[in-house]
Amino acid sequence: MKNISIEDIKKLKELSGVGLTDAKTALVEANGDFDKALEAMRKKGLTKAEKRGDRETREGLVDSYVHDGRIGALVELNCETSFVAKTDEFKDLAHKLAMQVASMNPLYVSEDDIPEADREKKLKELSENFKGPENMKEKILEGQMKKAFADKVLLSQPYILDDSKTVADFIKESIAKTGENITIRQFKRVELGVTE
């Protein structure tokens, strides 16, 4: 087995947001393979992050991003404590999310925010144009609905700085690091010359 250095343990702790003991255990289990240990810790951290999703978020901040004086975005990002809200990491997360809103122009924070009338209208349209096998219709339409709204839902969009993950995945990584639930309460995007 590869020799495990204290530097690797500290680095893994920093990147994954776990304790030193957990970081060392992960490296031992991965036979000293740092990347394998990091992946295992991230999965473990994301599992814990999902459990934190029910905790209330009353603190946070509003951040903005303006692109070339033509497009601007405001994002209200919430967490559990003012301590986390004041950290550079949290401020950076809020700023990157404002960049995402400016760049990708979502309409809703989550799928739950899509009005029922919009869902019904889209489902009717897809149903009328359906050409597949009848016995698969419901399943296929469900997939088409998800796809139709994916680019309009902020949490479902591919994250602009790493499209291998969604915005929701990116936020879960921050939840794993901070140990607090983090939610996007609202956002607003303004484009020069465009009115709603």
pLDDT, tens digit, 9 for 90 and up, residues 134-180: 888 888 888 888 888 888 999 999 999 999 999 999 999 888 888 88
Q: Which CATH number fits domain 55-109+152-191: 3.50.50.60, 2.60.40.420, 1.10.150.120, 3.30.479.20?
A: 3.30.479.20
pLDDT at residue 65, as a whole number: 96
Model pTM score: 0.68
Q: pLDDT for 26-77, tens place per residue?
A: 888 888 888 788 777 766 665 454 555 556 778 999 999 999 999 999 999 9
DSSP string computed for the chain: -PPPPHHHHHHHHHHH---HHHHHHHHHHTTT-HHHHHHHHHHHHHHHHHHGGGS---EEEEEEEEETTTEEEEEEEEES-HHHHTSHHHHHHHHHHHHHHHHH--SBSSGGGS-HHHHHHHHHHHHHT--S-GGGHHHHHHHHHHHHHHTTBGGGSEETTEEEEEHHHHHHHHHHHHSS--EEEEEEEEETTB--
C-alpha distances (whole Å) from 11 to each of 14, 34, 93 are 5, 9, 21
CATH match for 6-53 among 1.10.8.10, 3.40.50.12170, 3.40.190.10, 3.40.50.720: 1.10.8.10
The C-alpha torsion from 110 through 113 and 115 to 120, rounded to 10°, is 30
pLDDT (0 to 100) of residue 150: 83
Q: What pLDDT is recorded for position 100? A: 97
The arithmetic mean of pLDDT across residues 110-135, rounded, is 88
End-to-end CA distance of the chain: 61
Q: How far apart are CA 77 and CA 98, in angstroms?
A: 10
Has residue 193 got a pLDDT over 90?
no
Domain 6-53 matches domain 55-109+152-191 at the CATH topology level: no
Q: Give the residue extent of every domain in the chain.
A: 6-53, 55-109+152-191, 115-150
